[in-house]
């Protein structure tokens, strides 16, 4: 039987170690996933929100290219593997309790992050004040 591989990340410590320590100890949800907000390194623009499991996070750290867990396909996904719109990771930040990440990236290829061909997945805003024509719903409007 081959030896078991070491854990990808350190075990969680005390609250003080997690919030103030110098060791990355991510807290994945019950589903094994961690939310990752992706922003443009230069502009700070929010480009997308994706999910990472431990393997996707380790691949991202090891390769410098963003990898995610695609819930719809149930597999690891290297962003841009089909489109060429890769995300080169410049920095990864974690929040205070290490259960969410922000990836600061440079977008490759055509410079778009959204599968729709738009720069950002966040291209519409809720407009409750314009919802008169949307019975039972809230209007959406494109962001200029």
Kindly report, residue by residue over 26-37, the tens digit of the pLDDT: 999 999 999 999
The per-residue pLDDT of the chain, averaged, comes to 92
Give the pLDDT of residue 48: 98
Distances in whole angstroms, Cα of residue 113 to Cα of each of 39, 41, 50, 61, 103: 10, 13, 11, 19, 13
Q: Please name which of 21, 41, 30 lies closest in space to residue 99, comparing C-alpha atoms.
A: 30
Determine which of 96-100, 112-116, 122-126, 131-135 has the lowest per-residue pLDDT on average: 131-135
Positive or negative torsion for Cα 71, 76, 81, 82: negative
User: Contact 38/113 with Cβ under 8 angstroms?
Assistant: yes
What pTM did the predictor assign? 0.89
Q: Which residues contact 31 (CB under 8 A, 6 or more apart)?
A: none
Q: Please name which of 69, 74, 32 lies closest in space to residue 50, comparing C-alpha atoms.
A: 69
Residue 7 pLDDT greater than 80, yes or no: no
User: Contact 111/119 with Cβ under 8 angstroms?
Assistant: yes
Domain boundaries, the chain: 33-142
Give the pLDDT of residue 134: 63
> What band does 1 get if pLDDT is binned at 50, 70 and 90?
very low
β-pair type (139-142, 67-70): unpaired
Residue 53 pLDDT greater than 90, yes or no: yes
Question: What are the DSSP E strand ranges found in 1-144?
Answer: 34-40, 46-52, 67-70, 75-78, 87-94, 101-107, 124-127, 139-142
> What band does 20 get if pLDDT is binned at 50, 70 and 90?
very high
Enter the tokens of residue 18: 């997690």
> What band does 118 get if pLDDT is binned at 50, 70 and 90?
very high
Homologous superfamily of the 33-142 domain (CATH): Phosphoribosyl-AMP cyclohydrolase (3.10.20.810)
- What are the φ and ψ backbone dihedral angles of 128, each rounded to 5 degrees? -55, -35
Question: How long, in residues, is the chain?
Answer: 144
């Amino acid at each position: 039987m081959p030896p078991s591989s070491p854990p990808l990340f350190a075990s969680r410590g005390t609250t003080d170690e997690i919030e103030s320590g110098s060791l990355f100890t991510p807290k994945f949800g019950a589903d094994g996933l961690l939310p990752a907000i992706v922003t443009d390194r230069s502009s700070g623009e929010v480009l997308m929100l994706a999910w990472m499991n431990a393997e996707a996070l380790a691949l991202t750290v090891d390769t410098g290219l963003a990898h995610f867990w695609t819930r719809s396909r149930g597999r690891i996904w290297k962003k841009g593997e089909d489109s060429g719109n890769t995300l080169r990771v410049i920095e990864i930040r974690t929040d205070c309790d290490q259960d969410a990440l922000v990836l600061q990236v440079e977008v490759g290829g055509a410079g778009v992050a959204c599968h729709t061909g738009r720069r950002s997945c966040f291209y519409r805003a809720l407009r409750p004040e314009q919802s008169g024509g949307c019975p039972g719903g809230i209007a959406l409007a494109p962001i200029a």
